[in-house]
A and B are shown apart, each in its own frame.
Chain A
Amino acid sequence: MADNAEILAGLAEIVEEVAGVAQDDVTAEKSFVDDLDIDSLSMVEIAVQAEDKFGVKIPDDELANLKTVGDAVNYVSANAK
């Protein structure tokens, strides 16, 4: 199982691919919407790619709770098979 640093790096790759945010800017405390300027459409794409990459399920009601990059890392860490 990947550790949190690896999950963060993997997530940063996805965020860069989908939304064009430099990987170095994708840090745990950042808010997807307020800090990284990612809209709801891109969040859906990021979630689908994260599901594929980390082998997790991210239902819509869980996605709504993932406000920061750190929230997403912790969710993946806790739910990855």
Chain B
Amino acid sequence: MSNIDVVITGMGATTPLGGDVASTWDGLLTARSGIRRLEADWVEELGLPVQIGATLAVEPTEILPRVQARRLDRCEQVALIAARQAWSDAGFAEQTDEHTDVEPERLGVSLGTGVGGPVTLLSQNELLHQQGLRKVSPLTVPMLMPNGPAAHVSIDLKARAGVHSPASACASGAEGIANGFEMIRSGRADVVVAGGTEACIHPITLGGFAQARTVSTRNDDPAAASRPFDVSRDGFVLGEGSGVVVLERADRAKARGARIYAKLAGYGITSDAYHITGNHPDGIGQIAAMRAAMTMAELSPSDIGHVNAHATSTVVGDIGEAAAIRTAIGDHPVVTAPKGALGHLVGGAGAVEGIATVLSLHEGVVPATLNLTDLDPKVQLDVVSGENRKVELTAAISNSFGFGGHNTALLFVPAS
């Protein structure tokens, strides 16, 4: 194992709570909900059982130039916006042919997505059948391919050390960060722009999740629909958005006097090899991921003061994770579940929640879990509800788990 330390020097996000990290964090701290009733013709026409979603607070077309926006799928738009924010937040200037703050050959991208651009695929398919081939956009393939978001970020930032786009469902964003860490540790890059993105709110994704009985149908009260760890939870709420961090070699960051939010001290990635949607009943993969992260960071369970849970607000999933946290770490960590406010950003979730975890370390406060009013007695954890919790932390874990049995735990410690 290499001894290269990796720190976070920049963060960007656009989410249902706000168009940047500050407004998203403020939303978590002030108990705002990003979940709304969906306003589209098909909501009524199709009569789907789910009519709510966590849509973006700021439309990406308000941020990006019109011509650039029309060449990008929505999941690519939000990834580019978050990446540019993170880049600027790290203190870097725009990369041009004449000037680069990071040598392109030492700059990588690792940015995952759950499903890429299915909305482009479906809309272009409709054009093909209704108006013929000549109306199909020549940009169809680059807009639907799941490596598109990462590739566009690499072009924008002139990153030539390699581009990766992990597809591990709801763990994609966390896996993006873990893989970025690995790119630096292995010596392939000095700086990696890493995270995840998703924008797939569409009748077929909602319909598919509804048929799998995994989404909340609390249509009459959208703001209360996502309630992780609460006894009355009835499923997750599909959201959209992106989170991106700048990972940097610690010695490089210190040498340039960068602001360091936190150190990424370790990660664990495991797989359940059990069921395509359900987590292992004994939580073996989740437990192993958290333990692997602690082993890599050379920390013990007693060091972990905070867990930012994956907890999506499904009946089975939340209980499984709670048991896994108790086994891997214990019942002492202060736990929060940001999906109560954010909804489930799928491929963006792990990255946005990783950012929230970093901010909890950095600011010394853990946001309350929105809508947690009646803790499920099976949880048996210190889940923050009602009031935010002020706490000095020495280490925190962010969990992300995905359909397919993907488990990723990211472990952050304060900047030394």
Residue pair B66, A20 in contact (C-beta under 8 Å): yes
Residue pair B138, A44 in contact (C-beta under 8 Å): yes
Partner of A19, one of B67, B134, B138, B139: B67
B68 CB contacts on chain A under 8 angstroms: 20
Residue pair B135, A48 in contact (C-beta under 8 Å): yes
CB of B311, distance to nearest CB on chain A (Å)? 42
Check B65 for interface membership: any CB of A closer than 8 A.
yes
Residue pair A45, B138 in contact (C-beta under 8 Å): yes
Check A5 for interface membership: any CB of B closer than 8 A.
no
Partner of B134, one of A40, A41, A48: A48
B142 CB contacts on chain A under 8 angstroms: 41
Residue pair B138, A41 in contact (C-beta under 8 Å): yes
Residue pair A41, B65 in contact (C-beta under 8 Å): no
CB of A37, distance to nearest CB on chain B (Å)? 11
> Interface centre among A19, A48, A51, by most B CB within 10 Å?
A48
CB of B271, distance to nearest CB on chain A (Å)? 38
- In whole angstroms, what is the CA distance A20 to B68 when docked? 9
For window 125-155 of B, CB contacts with A under 8 Å fall at: 134-135, 137-139, 142
B139 CB contacts on chain A under 8 angstroms: 41
Query: Contact flags (1/0) for B103-141 with A, using CB distance below 8 Å?
Result: 000000000000000000000000000000011011100
Residue pair B65, A20 in contact (C-beta under 8 Å): yes
Chain A, interface SS category: helix
Residue pair B137, A20 in contact (C-beta under 8 Å): no
> Interface centre among B71, B139, B142, by most A CB within 10 Å?
B71
A44 CB contacts on chain B under 8 angstroms: 138
Residue pair B138, A20 in contact (C-beta under 8 Å): no
A41 CB contacts on chain B under 8 angstroms: 71, 138-139, 142
B134 CB contacts on chain A under 8 angstroms: 48, 51
For residue B140, which residue of chain A has the nearest CB?
A41
CB of A31, distance to nearest CB on chain B (Å)? 19
B138 CB contacts on chain A under 8 angstroms: 40-42, 44-45
A40 CB contacts on chain B under 8 angstroms: 138
Residue pair A20, B67 in contact (C-beta under 8 Å): yes
For residue B135, which residue of chain A has the nearest CB?
A48
For window 206-244 of B, CB contacts with A under 8 Å fall at: none
Query: Contact flags (1/0) for A33-58 with B, using CB distance below 8 Å?
Result: 00000001110110010010000000
Query: Contact flags (1/0) for B34-77 with A, using CB distance below 8 Å?
Result: 00000000000000000000000000000001111001000000
A42 CB contacts on chain B under 8 angstroms: 138
For residue A51, which residue of chain B has the nearest CB?
B134
CB of B310, distance to nearest CB on chain A (Å)? 38
CB of A53, distance to nearest CB on chain B (Å)? 13
B66 CB contacts on chain A under 8 angstroms: 20
For residue A43, which residue of chain B has the nearest CB?
B138
- In whole angstroms, what is the CA distance A19 to B70 when docked? 10
- In whole angstroms, what is the CA distance A15 to B68 when docked? 14
For residue A41, which residue of chain B has the nearest CB?
B138
CB of B204, distance to nearest CB on chain A (Å)? 26
For residue B70, which residue of chain A has the nearest CB?
A18
B71 CB contacts on chain A under 8 angstroms: 41
- In whole angstroms, what is the CA distance A72 to B67 when docked? 22
18 contacts between A and B (CB under 8 A): A18-B67, A19-B67, A20-B65, A20-B66, A20-B67, A20-B68, A40-B138, A41-B71, A41-B138, A41-B139, A41-B142, A42-B138, A44-B138, A45-B137, A45-B138, A48-B134, A48-B135, A51-B134
Besides A20-B68, A41-B142, A45-B137, 8 more A-B contacts (Cβ < 8 Å) are A18-B67, A19-B67, A20-B65, A20-B67, A40-B138, A41-B71, A41-B139, A51-B134
